[in-house]
Structure 1
Amino acid sequence: MENNIAVGLDIGTTKIVAMIGRKNEYGKVEILGIGKSKSLGVHRGVVNNITQTIQSIQLAAQEAEAASEFKIEDVTVGIAGQHIRSLQHSDYITRPNSELVIDEDDIERLINQVHKLVMLPGEEIIHVLPQEYKVDGQAEIKEPIGMYGGRLEANFHVVVGQVSSIRNVGRCIKSAGLNLEGITLEPLASANAVLSQEEKEAGVALIDIGGGTTDLAVFKDGIIRHTAVIPFGGNVITEDIKEGCSIIEKQAELLKIKFGSAWPGENKENEIVSIPGLRGRDPKEITLKNLSKIIHARVVEIIEQVYVEIKNYGHEEQKKKLIAGIVLTGGGAQLKHLKQLVEYITGMDTRIGYPNEHLAGDSDDEVTSPLYATAVGLVMDGLKRHERKRAEKIEEEIIEEAINDVEEELEIKQKPERRSFLDKLTERVKDFLDNAE
């Protein structure tokens, strides 16, 4: 596959999206093709039926290939699900030579040390995200590279997930005939697609309401501060409508999309929808007021849980205030009057997030729907990964040339290659799958 093209694969509870994108000459992302299929083997963000998931992935990939006339090989996939948890951790290293300035190798040593943290059985670290550094006790350093110091320490935001869930996703991708190129936490992918740098600086909470889960990512001072996955999403709202109105799921989903509202006060008592009965039975009449009461009750529950997580981050402290408030994205963000309800519950400024922050100006309206925020973010992540690899390759070539020049006079050891932990994790998942065959 060409270097400047990447594929994002969003394996959700309701739908699986394969999206092919490339960077145009202005540095914006151009979407070349989208494929989407109904997701049958995923429950609350976790694969629970391998065969069905493989088929859904293949369908989505084929549709994207047909739309773009590109062959999909490598994909960047998103990880979510109720098994994700995050924790804060501090660690330090003592540098052997404080006469030299701190360089990338020191930071890598520090990050690798965090990876040795002892996890619960069956858990694995997915991301280690440095918050801020301290050098010789001097706090609040954003970028320690180039500074002098003997002791380098940092606070980290560590994201942890279940090994088996990650491997199952890897297994599905491999069996669908694709190559797993990278793994990214879905709230991080959505955040990259939807939030502006100013919002991340000012402080913002991104709430991604999917079918099976609601993901949260909190940013402040440009750094990710808190992540959480809440095991409820749009599907429980549909379930409630189905139960509350005694209708079938397909009808409940349609009702939610066409007539649903999160604010009961909007509807008059006399607004009624008639739903055809099952085979020979009378049609059912449902008042929109009742419908929105059902939706309202469940949405309030979801938002309150998210708000607890925002408080856990410390939103109520002056220093940690989220000035830019809340951004809602994901399919669930399309629910009518949701913005008003979230503002009412949290008292925070709210907007709906469309993934057009980094997309080319002439992008299709469909692509900029909140529905595709995660997929767009995964494409961006894949493109970034390619750029890193290109930069490393150029760096290696330069080093190699320099080594060849010097080698006649001196013997110099080659510089060890630098790889981010995520690349290593991806490789471990690949190795595991190859050995498991």
Structure 2
Amino acid sequence: MAKDFIVAIELGSAKLTGIAGRKNPDGSITVLAVASEDSTSYIRKGVVYSIDKTAQGLSNIITKLKNSLQADITQVYVGIGGQSIHSVRNMVIKDLPVDAIVSQGMVNELMDTNRNMTYPDYEIQDAITEEYKVDLQYQTDPVGIQASRLEGNFINILWRRSFYRNLNKSFDSAGIAIAETYLAPLVMADNVLTEAEKRAGCVLVDLGSETTTVSVYYRDKLRSIAVIPLGGDNITKDLESLQMEEKDAERMKLKYGSALTDLADIDPAAVLPIDNKRTIESRRFIEVVEARTLEIIENVKSFIPAEYADKLLSGIVLTGGGSNMTNIEKAFREATGFDKVRVAKFVTLSINSKDSKIDIAHDGTMNTILSLVARGDMNCAGNAFGESPFDNQHANNVTTAQQSVATTSTATGTSQTAGPTPREIEEERIKREEAERKRIEAERIKQEEAERRRKEEEERKKNSPFGRFFGTLKRFGKTLVEPENGD
């Protein structure tokens, strides 16, 4: 069987990304393969709009990963996000009998009641417990406390039901099994934010191509999440209004775009080259970029709950492709009033690759997909190319036999301090199988050679003078004993 690895897929508005990685004993991750596809024609604002095209894109990703790994893939982890994801608060109250002591069963009942909440057109993707209120006291763990009233405060994260169905249909059409579906912003936060930032409170802002995700953390808990339908592509579209094509607008945004420019640095007479023949006023370019960037920042600010606005001591953490824009930190400081703003260009995990061809970008664009690999805990590896499925069965039989011996030894009280180790048993199995394969191959070659010689001898005799004479005689004798047609 192929060695263990985790496979994760992220459905982004600009590109579909797949990655295979192996978790190492030291906690690091080795990236084994990376594949990507342009997804602009079938994924919009982070959600599936064309099931057939998405299925084809997924199939292409899996094929690329398989070819790189030289192994089959049995299942994948999927990160979801994008448009319509938002959080709502919910309170569940349970009146208790007199002198009752809160049990785990009572707590579970509150959680189940919350999970069974229904929202028109939306599915609960995750439910987070904020805190419990036992009579008048707030507790993180109410079990064992005597009370007459138990209240649970929850954050439910919702996603539009139709988007969820489209996602599942796309994977079904592509024939890809989903091991687990995770909320991408939450998974990423675990590997981008520090424990101190979560505890002191912060806003994680993922600046994507078509959406901006705003997640608020305080006292180690997610308190709010929302997705704004604005991103870097909106800046590009605004630049197109200055009479330039999309590819030129995107290129100029990446090359010259600045989230904030000091007035003293603006030269009214300066121009920027669009191509060899055309230019644009630098001042107009700056105004367009800053106006849309400011709009995005103002929207981010509006989605920070008022009750936490002055409590978030760790400020704002920026990530995603949009976080690479020049002066983005400075723009957020001035527009939001937060002094602390940092850019998280990479995860806190230790990531390595043995293949120099694998490009692991440190620009905020790989944070989600790497976090999904880190979260996965089930093997996604199938058979290696060229490996027989019976090899796995034989290995399983060997393992079962070893376990049986160990169980018998334990039951009888005997100790097996001597004898081969599992690794030695496996090596011996491989040697035996290799020897058997060689024996069978040699026997096959021997038989083919004998058959070839027999045919050559028959052909030689047939073509000799005596062979031709006896052949003619045999055919003549046959005509004498066979009846004529019609008799």
Normalising by structure 2, we get a TM-score of 0.70
1:261 equivalenced with 2:258 (yes/no): yes
Mean CA deviation greater in 3-12 or 17-26 = 3-12
Q: How does 1:245-394 map to 2 (within 5 A)?
A: 246-265=243-262, 266-269=265-268, 271-276=270-275, 283-310=277-304, 312-317=305-310, 321-348=311-338, 349-360=340-351, 366-383=360-377
Contact (CA 8 Å) 2:44, 2:210: kept in 1 or not?
yes
C-alpha distance after superposition, 1:41-90 (max 9, x if no partner): 01112211122222222333333444444533322222223222211111
Contact (CA 8 Å) 1:230, 1:305: kept in 2 or not?
yes
Contact (CA 8 Å) 2:231, 2:296: kept in 1 or not?
yes
How many Å separate the matches in 2 of 1:76 and 1:269?
Answer: 51
How many Å separate the matches in 1 of 2:87 and 2:202?
Answer: 18
Following superposition, the deviation at residue 35 of structure 1 comes to: 1.3
C-alpha distance after superposition, 1:270-313 (max 9, x if no partner): 55332337xxxxx2112444322211110100110110011x25
How many Å separate the matches in 2 of 1:218 and 1:21?
Answer: 29
Paired position in structure 2 for 1:156: 154
How many Å separate the matches in 2 of 1:4 and 1:135?
Answer: 46
Paired position in structure 1 for 2:73: 72
Following superposition, the deviation at residue 137 of structure 1 comes to: 4.1
Mean CA deviation greater in 24-33 or 62-71 = 62-71
Structure number with bigger Rg? 2
What CA RMSD, in Å, does the superposition of the two structures yield over aligned residues?
3.0
Following superposition, the deviation at residue 127 of structure 1 comes to: 1.0
The one-letter amino acid paired with 1:232 is L
C-alpha distance after superposition, 1:134-185 (max 9, x if no partner): 345431x223456666754321011112111011011112222211222222
Paired position in structure 1 for 2:212: 214
The one-letter amino acid paired with 2:74 is E
Contact (CA 8 Å) 1:264, 1:289: kept in 2 or not?
no
Paired position in structure 1 for 2:429: none
Distance 1:63 1:260, change over 3 A: farther
Contact (CA 8 Å) 1:102, 1:145: kept in 2 or not?
yes
Identity in percent: 30
Distance 1:164 1:263, change over 3 A: same
The one-letter amino acid paired with 2:76 is V
The one-letter amino acid paired with 1:375 is I
The one-letter amino acid paired with 1:255 is M
Q: How does 1:105-254 map to 2 (within 5 A)?
A: 106-120=106-120, 122-139=121-138, 141-144=139-142, 152-244=150-242, 246-254=243-251
Following superposition, the deviation at residue 350 of structure 1 comes to: 0.5
Contact (CA 8 Å) 1:23, 1:383: kept in 2 or not?
no
Following superposition, the deviation at residue 114 of structure 1 comes to: 0.5
Following superposition, the deviation at residue 96 of structure 1 comes to: 8.6
How many Å separate the matches in 2 of 1:107 and 1:21?
Answer: 38
Paired position in structure 2 for 1:413: none
C-alpha distance after superposition, 1:377-400 (max 9, x if no partner): 2222323899xxxxxxxxxxxxxx
Paired position in structure 2 for 1:53: 54
How many Å separate the matches in 1 of 2:290 and 2:215?
Answer: 23
* 1:55 partner SS: helix
* 2:326 partner SS: coil
Paired position in structure 2 for 1:420: none
Following superposition, the deviation at residue 326 of structure 1 comes to: 0.3
* 1:383 partner SS: coil
